[in-house]
Amino acid sequence: MINFEYARAKDVADAVRQMAAGPGAKFIAGGTNLIDLMKGDVERPARLIDISRLPLKSVEETATGGLRIGALVPNADLAYHPLIEQRYPVLSSAILAGASQQLRNMASTGGNLLQRTRCHYFYDVATPCNKREPGSGCSAIDGHNRMHAILGTSEACIATHPSDMCVALAVLEAQVHVNGPAGERAIPFAEFHRLPGDTPQRDTNLQADEIVTAVELPAQGFAANYTYLKIRDRLSYAFALVSVAVGLQLDGDRIKEARFALGGVAHKPWRDPAAEAELRGQIPDAARFKRAADTLLRDAKGFEHNAFKIELARRAIVRALSQAARGTPQSQSDKKIR
Amino acid sequence: MARTSKTTRATAAPIPVPAKTPVTLVVNGVERKIDVAPWTTLLDALRDHLDLTGTKKGCDHGQCGACTVLLDGRRINSCLTLAVMKDGAHVTTIEGLAKNGALHPLQQAFIEHDAFQCGYCTPGQICSAAGLIAEGKARTDDEIRELMSGNLCRCGAYPNIVAAIRQAMGAMGGRS
């Protein structure tokens, strides 16, 4: 790890001020991703601004029936929070599908959003990577790309966003509250993460001088009909090859509202309004789910080692929509997929 | 790791080595004061500054769990935590689990179930299991396995580790 300076932020305004004071600074909260990247020389901050003691650790009800989650609420606390378990079980399930309990105890809500890809080449500073070193090239496109994206890729980058939590937040249509020198603003979740395009070095639309302060959930939590189905190379503690978060609202035997998002397949959680619209007003049925999956995957493109993900995603979508419609969400401890 | 010229990046001017920062940790119930550089991990502080070498450095990347300790009662990977960030925290390591000369129920259960071979992962396994019991979320073997998945055992002692944890959990009435 390189040498760096360290300072603690006194409050959010102080954190913003310290970030604006000079280049090369990074915020640190849980540190689970940043310290790892610093050990690998991938991140080389000159200063770390410790925000871990800021008062952003509460989960509060909003006037509109939703919840406001402080950016420093640890992932484990959020997953086991009674209001999340009751009203937003897809979020609880997605969090528990990711990382290990030690990491979930450390990792923050805001940090989960901002974690970097786990592309092997991004981590290997001896290889070209446009995300780490813009303009150096992408080693993954013709390399070991089993873990990589099949949707929304560019010639510059085929990395995936690794979060499970964010896939559920996409379905829940959360808002990300941020603070910066220009004041506060809220970013709709769908606009928070970016596709790589020709600027893969930018994962999100958060500005370099901004800090995430909270994630707000709207009232609709899909608590009755949801699932988080994660397919990976080992049964626990591995990143998704494909994951699917689903929230359905049923009206009698018909689907009133359908939302589903995929993880492990793109540079951001992947939703497709056209695919969701196909399910609205319909009776849940595997053939219809497959057509919706076909719609979502219509532009999917595989690479040498990950083309299998297209069919895997199709089947995972059908299975996840079926689980949600039946009201039998995927268990994150009994790994049998039913 | 050597870096090719192709990927060498422009970096900020070298940072002068800052003065070491005084940090107070309550380790296994005893207040300890150390002076550390900002980049000293909690793991390195425990092993190299406090000579508590029971906590192991495995991967040093949060992937193996050998460095697991309890921080303010919660299990964490000490390799991914900076000591300066934890000033004032209570840390429990494997050295702090036995009380009054008697092994902790998990230590006793690991021996009774032969829950290790080489033993390198064991301090992390036991601290992690102590955290798991305190959390109170695991009831079945499936749940123990899932919530212990952050601790790898390259000798493959997993069935015996699960059995040991199940026994200790029963003996402790679900409390750490």
Full set of structural domains in chain B with CATH: 22-96 (3.10.20.30), 105-171 (1.10.150.120)
Asked whether the beta carbons of residue A102 and residue B11 sit closer than 8 angstroms, the reply is no
Pick among A72, A102, A139 to test the B interface (most B CBs inside 10 A)? A102
Q: How far is A137 from chain B (nearest CA, A)?
A: 10
Residues A23 and B175: their CA atoms lie apart, in Å, by 47
ipTM greater than cut 0.95: yes
Q: At what angle do helices A89-96 and A165-172 cross, to 10 degrees?
A: 160
Are the C-beta atoms of residues A57 and A194 closer than 8 Å to each other?
no
Q: What is the three-class DSSP state of B156? A: coil
Asked whether the beta carbons of residue A36 and residue B65 sit closer than 8 angstroms, the reply is no
Q: Measured at the alpha carbon of residue A218, what is the angle toward residues A152 and A185, in degrees to the nearest 5?
A: 70
What does CATH list as the number for A5-52?
3.30.43.10
What's residue B12's pLDDT?
57
Residues A224 and A87: their CA atoms lie apart, in Å, by 9
For CATH 3.30.390.50, the residue range(s) in chain A are 225-326
Mean pLDDT, chain A, rounded, equals: 98
What does CATH list as the number for A225-326?
3.30.390.50
pLDDT mean over B77-86: 98
Residue A131 has pLDDT above 80, yes or no: yes
Residue B7 has pLDDT above 70, yes or no: no
Helices marked H in A156-299: 165-172, 189-192, 273-277, 286-296
Residue B176 has pLDDT above 80, yes or no: no
Q: How far is B85 from chain A (nearest CA, A)?
A: 7
Tokens of A84: 């999340």
- Helix or strand holding residue A213 (H, E): strand A211-217
What's residue A314's pLDDT?
98
